[in-house]
Amino acid sequence: MKVKVIPVLEDNYMYLVIEEHTREALAVDVAVPKRLLEIVGREGVSLTTVLTTHHHWDHARGNAELARLLPGLEVLGADERICALTRRLVHGEELQFGAIHVRCLLTPGHTSGHMSYFLWEDECPDPPAVFSGDALSVAGCSSRLESTAQLMYQSLVETLGTLPAETVSSPTLPHLRGLASHTTGGLGTCLVPGCGMTACQLRVGSRPASGVSSSACALHVPLFSRRCSVGTSTPWATSSLRKKWSLATTT
């Protein structure tokens, strides 16, 4: 599994996920279709599917144009408000693209129909990945616009927070594009310069969660109930991922 990370709209990303044997590709959160197609052409792959995390314009506005340019394209997601949706997905549904498996994880909070996508390959040394849209941002979560705080807590702690510790997370990064990787689990300290914290306690209702106090690093916000490590390096700058994750530039 090879991932091209495509910066768009000044503070966001699209992703092109490539099955390296079949050269089939799927895209996550298409906001700028012409830029995506430039990368598709450069990589020499066949784009068959779009996975959309939620209906907001900065994640789904390119779906209709892309579907017009690529007849037969599947546009998948959990929310009927997603532009050009061809099929609704449900929590726990699994898809397969060659050797790539996709598990659909409903993660309401930012929107009521937000879906995250957990990807892995069988018998592959590369770590799995989760494409979490606006369910996560660097070291935390995005704003809760729909649904309840309890549902958002369940999305973060009980759904995303229980993924394998080696999972590479690819959140949306509004205002924080310099910090582009988040690895769930582990005992690492925050790598934000000058922070050096491990985890502090914040209570959500009566339950403790790893989060922030007023004196903590400003990038720490409620996330997982176990310690987490936040890297200032991007996935494509990490030695173990450099060959698989790369920042896509356009001319």
**Topology (CATH level 3) of domain 2-247:** Metallo-beta-lactamase; Chain A (3.60.15)
Strand-pair category, 94-97 with 100-106: antiparallel
Q: In terms of pTM, does the model score above 0.75?
A: no
Opening angle at CA 18, ends 17 and 20, nearest 5: 150
Handedness of CA 16, 17, 19, 25 (dihedral sign): negative
**Residue 151 three-state SS:** helix
Question: What is the Cα–Cα distance from 167 to 161, expressed in whole angstroms?
Answer: 10
Hey, where are the domains in the chain? 2-247
Chunk the chain into consecutive blocks of 10 residues (it has 251) and report each block's average pLDDT, rounded to whole numbers: 86 89 95 94 97 85 95 96 95 96 91 91 88 73 70 82 81 40 34 37 33 34 34 41 66 50
Question: What is the Cα–Cα distance from 115 to 106, expressed in whole angstroms?
Answer: 4
Burial class (CB in 10 A: 0-12, 13-18, 19+), 38: middle
